[in-house]
Structure 1
Amino acid sequence: MAITMQNFGLTWTDPDGTARASVVSYDRASADDRKRELEEAGASGVEVVATRPGERLVPKG
């Protein structure tokens, strides 16, 4: 049975209004943890986005 690895990145807006995107890939559990950390730090619009290996997210906005 093959195991499919799924990668995730995050996009968000800092409290000062700067759009950001992660430059690393996370597994789902780690991405959810990072999302919670960002929200606790005051970031808004935090989204977990599925990515392909090597894909870099672009900040929104």
Structure 2
Amino acid sequence: MENYRVTWVRARDGRAMVSAVSYDRPSAEHRKADLEAEGATDIEIVKVKPGE
């Protein structure tokens, strides 16, 4: 299985964020959609190695 993290910039204060957990691709896409709805910017799905 491939693992992914999501990075984004928080809308309320411009702080760069990284997900604390790893996702599978469909879950990462869902998280990205949630962040877009919250107004986050620069959202990226990044492939990571297991355990990273």
TM band (smaller chain) = over 0.9
Partners of 1:23 and 1:54 in 2: CA distance: 12
> Which ranges in structure 2 are unaligned for 5 or more consecutive residues?
none
Q: Aligned match of 1:28 in 25, 28, 35?
A: 25
Query: Larger radius of gyration, structure 1 or 2?
Result: 1
Q: How big is the alpha-carbon RMSD for the aligned residues of Structure 1 and Structure 2?
A: 0.5
- Give 4+ residue runs of structure 1 displaced > 4 Å after superposition: none
Structure 1 residue 13, shift from structure 2 partner = 0.2
Higher strand residue share: 2
State the 1:36 CA deviation: 0.4
Aligned to 1:49: 46
Greater helix fraction, Structure 1 or Structure 2: 2
How many residues of Structure 1 are paired with residues of Structure 2 in the alignment? 51
Q: Is the counterpart of residue 10 in structure 1 residue 3 in structure 2?
A: no
Identity %: 51
Q: Please, what TM-score do these two structures have when normalized by structure 1? A: 0.81
